[in-house]
Amino acid sequence: MPGGRVRVAGFLTYSRSVFCFVADPNSSKTALYGGLLANIGIAISKFVAAYFTRSSAMLSEGIHSLVDSGNAVLLLYGVNRSQKPADAQHPFGHSKELYFWGLIVAVLIFAIGGGMSFYEGIKHIEHPEPLTDPLWNYVVLGVSIGFEAWAFYLAMKALLVNRAENLSFWGILRASKDPAVFASVLENLAALLGLLLALLGVFFGHLLNNPFLDGAASIAIGLLLMLVAVFLVARTRTLLVGEGVDADTLQALQTIAHEQPGVEAIRPPLTMYLGPADVILALDVQFQPNLTAQQVEVAIEQLQDAIRARYPEFKRIFIEAKSVLNRQRHATDAPPQPASTPA
């Protein structure tokens, strides 16, 4: 998600707020507001620099940072919408709102973040700005790095809340089903790299008296943001279309089902993420034919309880009892028996 943009001596980098969500709504909103404050702090640093340097470019970037902060408002709106209860028109709730707004933000990162950085880099190479006193550039970069490091810490903290063991950093990112969490981590990581590029560019630009380094760094930052955006678009698209749980969880579900008394056989479970902590499960179960309808009903409740005890994110579990249905079909399809005649 585009955060505060920092144009320093021709550089256009993006500083990312932590728009991270976890299963706990309170933690989600805490991270959101914390990231928004960081983004606003970066914008203020630009306005202060614009006041002292009388730089129209820095003033413009301060305004852009405030505009980009609107993405935080979009995601706050998205997380609030995703928590709305189910209604007649949306019987499964609104959890997928989070995936929709995550996709919108990913598109904005590509268009506004990467596109504008790339454009500014090309423009600065064609029309390089004269080098000036870099003091305020260093001040803005230092403040931005400080805020961004805090934002990245919050994002990583949210990502590691429910991490699986024996997974690498990239494995944890791929395993996360919350687009705001893995998006904020990647965005903040890209932002920190961009700010470091800007810092190096300012230093070597003045050291070598070469203003073209500004534009080159801005182009590199734009390409980095576009790469992050492409990953986020692809990832959120699969979640929005309907992604299921991983193979290990599917195997565990089958194991839980087979361990229940009265279960004879099951078909592969069908699952889909409606939200980061909201999964739907459809399961075809063949119960032992000697069970009565009441016993099957009890067995279904026990199976649902066993699944939710291990995986509380399965909010909706639909189990089709094959033995009862088969008996009902056989009873319906059986030809009528002739009435017996008294001897």
Q: Give pLDDT, residue 4.
A: 43
Q: At what angle do helices 293-310 and 247-259 cross, to 10 degrees?
A: 140
Which residues in the chain show pLDDT less than 50? Answer: 1-26, 56, 324-325, 327, 330-331, 334, 336-343
Q: Is 229 exposed, middle or buried (0-12, 13-18, 19+ CB in 10 A)?
A: buried
CA-to-CA separations, 111 to 20, 233, 312, in angstroms, rounded: 21, 12, 38
Contact yes or no for 109/1 (Cβ under 8 A): yes
Tokens of 336: 């009528």
Query: Distance between CA atoms of 173 and 163, rounded to whole angstroms?
Result: 9
Tokens of 18: 């932590």
Contact yes or no for 272/244 (Cβ under 8 A): yes
Architecture category of domain 4-242 in CATH: Up-down Bundle (1.20)
Query: Distance between CA atoms of 285 and 264, rounded to whole angstroms?
Result: 8
| Domain 247-333, CATH among 3.40.50.150, 3.20.20.70, 3.30.70.1350, 3.40.50.720 | 3.30.70.1350
Beta bridge partners of 271: 281
Residue type, 249: T
Domain ranges of the chain: 4-242, 247-333
How many Cα neighbours within 13 Å face the side chain of 227?
A: 10
